[in-house]
Amino acid sequence: MRGDIKVAAVSLSARGGDPWHNCERMAELSALLSGQGVELICFPEASLTGYSVREREALAWAISSDSLFLDDLRRLSRKLGATLLVGFMEKALGGKLFLTQAALCPRGEEVLYRKTHLSPQEALLFEAGSSFSIFDAGQVLGGIALCYEAHFPEYMAALALKGVELLCFPSASPGESPDEKLERWLRFMPARAYDNGVFVMACNQGGENGSGLRFPAVALILDPKGRILASETGEEEAVAVATLKAQEVNRIKAHPLANFLSHRRPELYSPVGK
């Protein structure tokens, strides 16, 4: 990492099919957090459009990557000098649907990540992406994995091997209470941080989406040893804020024992993936 950076994981209550409301709420929270010195703000999966695995809703709610709502958020990123991670159901050329997360950077750079590992329900409706996405937030290199993808350790290791220092897990996972969701996340997300020597931040959608789904609001930030830097829960929204210290990642990279990835022997286990 080049330097310390203050970040926020925002568990947003997103209304299904109401990007006007969702964009406005993102702008309000982004302005508030930027005023507190936050330089990277992560919103949940499909937070701009709302999330659904029902075909009729997904087709009606999905937007294109050149949507006016994203244009508004691009301008906001530049105005605030903050990187915004914004999720949406994307309607691409030919009518194909993707679950997409945009990293909007204040210098004008933009990274679009299409979810590569779909849940069984999602795979019936959405197309899978086919590439990694790494974004530069100034002081830190970030990698995006959406919700279900947090359960694939090989993917997280691949991102870390490409230089990622912060793994971001925007999520749209309904069911459970906020405390139950946080407890479940804490069973596996610390391992993603510890094994790869990276920071982790995660945020779930919160509240009722207006179409029968209720999401527990959970926001979490972990250090490279898997320890909690910040965590918040709620019924509607939750915001976790923490400062990521560059020396914590850099020390691990330079440590002869703690840098586990440098001692991998893929020739022993790479056939497992074939």
Count of structural domains, the chain: 1
Q: What is the pLDDT of residues 90-126, one digit of tens each?
A: 999 889 999 999 999 999 899 999 999 999 999 999 9
How many whole angstroms separate alpha carbon 161 and alpha carbon 187?
A: 23
Pair of tokens at residue 72: 């508004």
Q: Per the structure block, which two tokens stand in for 139?
A: 């002081």
Task: Determine the residue type at 127.
Answer: E
* pLDDT, position 217: 98
In a domain, 9, yes or no: yes
Q: Output the six-digit token pair for 101.
A: 């997360």
Per-residue pLDDT band for 85 (boundaries 50, 70, 90) equals very high
Name the pTM for this structure. 0.96
Residue 271 located in a structural domain: no
Whether residue 44 is predicted with pLDDT greater than 80 in this model: the reply is: yes
- For residues 139-147, average pLDDT: 97
pLDDT tens profile 263-273? 999 888 877 65
The first and second tokens of residue 69, run together, are 């709502």
Query: Does residue 67 belong to any structural domain of this protein?
Result: yes
pLDDT at position 116: 98
Encoded tokens for 189: 């997300």
Residue 274 has pLDDT above 60, yes or no: no
Burial class (CB in 10 A: 0-12, 13-18, 19+), 232: buried
Residue 117's pLDDT is 97
How much is the pLDDT for 272? 63
Cβ 217 vs Cβ 237: under 8 Å? yes
Q: What would the 3-class secondary structure string for the chain be?
A: CCCCEEEEEEECCCCCCCHHHHHHHHHHHHHHHHCCCCCEEECCCCCCCCCCCCHHHHHHHCECCCCHHHHHHHHHHHHHCCEEEEEEEEECHHHCEEEEEEEECCCCCEEEEECCCCCHHHHCCCCCCCCCCEEECCCCEEEECCHHHHHCHHHHHHHHHCCCCEEEEEECCCCCCHHHHHHHHHHHHHHHHHHHCCEEEEEECCEECCCCCEECEEEEEECCCCCEEEEEEECCCEEEEEEECHHHHHHHHHCCCCCHHHHCCHHHHHHHHC
Name the average pLDDT for the chain: 96
Q: Mean pLDDT, to the nearest integer, of 60-79?
A: 96
Q: What are 152's strand-pairing partners? A: none
pLDDT for the residue 126: 98
Residue 269 resides in a domain: no
Tell me if 270 is assigned to some domain.
no
Structural Rg of the chain based on CA atoms: 18
CATH number for the domain spanning 46: value is 3.60.110.10
Domain, as residue range, for 62: 5-263
Whether 178 maps to a domain, the answer reads yes
160 within some domain = yes
Domain contains 226: yes
CA distance linking residue 270 with residue 93, whole number of Å? 35
Q: What is the pLDDT of residue 270?
A: 75
196-215 tens-digit pLDDT: 999 999 999 999 999 999 99
pLDDT digits (tens, 9 = 90+) for 159-180: 999 999 999 999 999 999 999 9
